[in-house]
Amino acid sequence: MTLDLTLPIAYCWDAVALVWLAGYAFTKRTVRTQPLGTRLFHIALLVLGGFLLGSARFSYGWLAYRFVPASDGVQIAALAAVVAGCLFAIWARLTLGANWSARATVKAGHELVTSGPYSLARHPIYTGLLLAVAGSALAIGEWRCILGLLIIVFAMLIKMSQEERLMLQTFPGAYPAYRQRVKALIPGLL
């Protein structure tokens, strides 16, 4: 029998959700945003990926096969990834402050944030969330979770491209230099 870390992992995701919900009250007014079609496509992909990852309804056929053996070591590694990813995403969200939005946007008085986690990655919220999603997938260990993770990565890449476009338009001098210094997701790699 292996450890069941379902509740601790769920509590980590609950903490992320609470920080995001509380942060809505403190965001600046939106000036420009991504096109609605792109936004809806991005959301649809996130929902599909989330359902694959989090719903046992998809546990049939090859999607139910395990890609990793169930063991306490795997569960502990998975929990560590979820905790680290959620904490990193929360740190990035708090650092971004009132400039944050659930959509790719430019806010009134938007500032280019390059400190804290933004000195490590241009999109550290996504870095943290993807690490937490990967940890969640590892904890469940079924192929449906890998498929869900890949769909979520694709959705985040779409949103990142929209954010990059808006930041280049908003900060035509500073953002290209920032892009040269700081990788998008993984410090020193990607």
Domains defined for the chain, CATH in brackets: 31-107+125-181 (1.20.120.1630)
pLDDT of 2 strictly over 80:
no
pTM exceeds cut of 0.85: yes
Averaged pLDDT for residues 4-9: 91
Q: What is the pLDDT of residue 1?
A: 64
Residue 128 CA to its chain's centroid (Å): 6
CA–CA distance from 183 to each of 99, 104, 132, 154 (Å)?
20, 18, 19, 18
